[in-house]
Structure 1
Amino acid sequence: MKSPLHCCAVIACGLLSASCDRLGEREAITESREISTHAAKPNIDIPSATRFFDDAKEEQQQQRPDFRSLLTWTIPDGWSENSTPDPMGMRLLDLRFGPNQEGECYISLMPGSAGGLEANVNRWRSQMGQPAYTADELSKLPKKPFFNREATFVAFDGDFKGFGADTAKTGYRMLGLIHSTEQATIFVKLTGPKTLVEQNTAAFDTFCQSIKPNLPKE
């Protein structure tokens, strides 16, 4: 699976830079040449890890650039970043809010369509103990401007049971934005006690509008 960092770079290019359209093209090899008698002969005695650069993986991970160089955003007043890293590594940004930090809001990226709008929306509804939407209900979901395009907006009430949770949290509300391109899908998801979420709905909208690709200037 491609890393969140890779997805972030691709979706930024795909949305705002036509020059990135050629990234997926492949060019067939139609020519070949013989190795010169003066060329250095390949070393067949080196370990396979060295040959395929597996012994450099640790160093590459240490030098991996920060995804923050690819996105910019403004964190709302009263919100803060979660001090505990996401164990699944799926959240590019993980925020908390509320008197006891019970409200959560995060950004995540997945390659391609990430299963499609229907699967993702109904997965979220399942987390809230709600039945799946029909195709007609999905088609009527509202849109909101996001990433210079439009994203599907959802809002559900119910008993929230997140991934890996043993019990559901009653009286919760979920807000979410889903936007897909051919390259990647970006999600912004907020959950928390219903009253707390209602108090932070405007902050959620403002936060979503602040998320932008941070493309390098030429």
Structure 2
Amino acid sequence: MQQPKGNLYLIPCTLGDTPPLEVLPLLVKKAIEHINHYVVEHEKNARRFIKNIDSKKNQTDLVMSEINKFTNADDIPQMLEPCLQGFDLGVISDAGCPGIADPGAAVVQEAHRQGIKVVPLVGPSSILLAMMASGFNGQNFAFNGYLPIDKGERKTTIKRLEKLSSEYDQSQSFIETPYRNNQLLESLLRTLNPDTMLCVACDITLPSEYIKTASAADWKKIKVDLHKRPTLFIIQK
């Protein structure tokens, strides 16, 4: 008789140093209590998160594989070996929901190929939380990841996204490496039309959370320091 396969659980984590059970449902805690095999973005971060959820869990029982942008695609099938042996496997990102703007998506894709059941659990997504709080079109929106670093390419991309937003009534969201947030905000205010709306959502779910929507013209009068603070930007023309 063939060994039943384990399930692949997509386990959200906090977006920062927030007490986990303030933003995560009980089902996440139950999953972590029974799962010992994981695919994670960074092992140190994942172990700390698991300890915060279940302080009694024996860390020596945990078996972890790391996945990031440097992971060889040929190594991904082996990460799912615990499922083929009948064990449930958890995927944990460094922040938020695995598989969303996260390398864990490659593991999920391979799980479907191998006929492994995928179980997504509820948790915070900075993309969705920012959209909820922006007041923009939640019926039609896009997440564009990182904008180009080169100033000329960045300006061209910003104008392209602004045009897309206008033509399709589509909210356009993107992020930046936290230490370049202030520079991106300056680029946006130099490039966007004055009446284009901009939402800046920073430190979502943290005590220092800051979310504001205003026109590009009005943003020029607002003083805010986004340096080294996880931030999501959304524009709507």
- Higher percent of residues as helix: 2
Instruction: Tell which structure's C-alpha radius of gyration is larger.
Output: 1
- Higher percent of residues as strand: 1
Give yes or no for TM over 0.5. Answer: no
Measured against the shorter chain, the TM-score band is: under 0.3
Q: TM-score, normalised by structure 2?
A: 0.25
Q: TM-score, normalised by structure 1?
A: 0.27
